[in-house]
Amino acid sequence: QEQARKNRRFMVYVHSKGMIVDDEYVIIGSANINQRSMEGTRDTEIAMGAYQRQYTWANKISAPRGQVYGYRMSLWAEHIGAIEEDFNHPESIECMRRVRHLGEHNWD
């Protein structure tokens, strides 16, 4: 640590985060979703965003069911430990209540 201070170096703590928006867009990387990380002139960050044009709410035929949806479902299955019908509609009050119930149950 003394050498790090002398050379004005700092420890690097690499961690990642992600955000899924409406089952149609995903961003994954080290960048925080704020001005400091996203403007690219201060922190050294990297992130990748993706969507599938044919699987968006703009089509208004049905809810997006592309790979972003599949990614969200696999994350929920891994972290919640279940796949349930309500998870197909994350915007619904039923889904919110179910996920909250599972979270409270797992907290105990």
pLDDT tens for residues 20-63?
Answer: 999 999 999 987 777 777 676 777 778 899 999 988 888 777 78
Q: How far apart are CA 43 and CA 63, in angstroms?
A: 36
Cβ neighbours of residue 81 under 8 Å, at least 6 residues apart? 102, 106
10 band by pLDDT with thresholds 50, 70 and 90: low
Residue 15 is which amino acid? Answer: H
Q: How far apart are CA 108 and CA 105, in angstroms?
A: 6
11 band by pLDDT with thresholds 50, 70 and 90: low
Spell out the domain ranges in the chain. 2-107
What's the pLDDT tens digit per position in 63-106?
Answer: 899 999 999 999 999 999 889 999 999 999 999 999 999 999 98
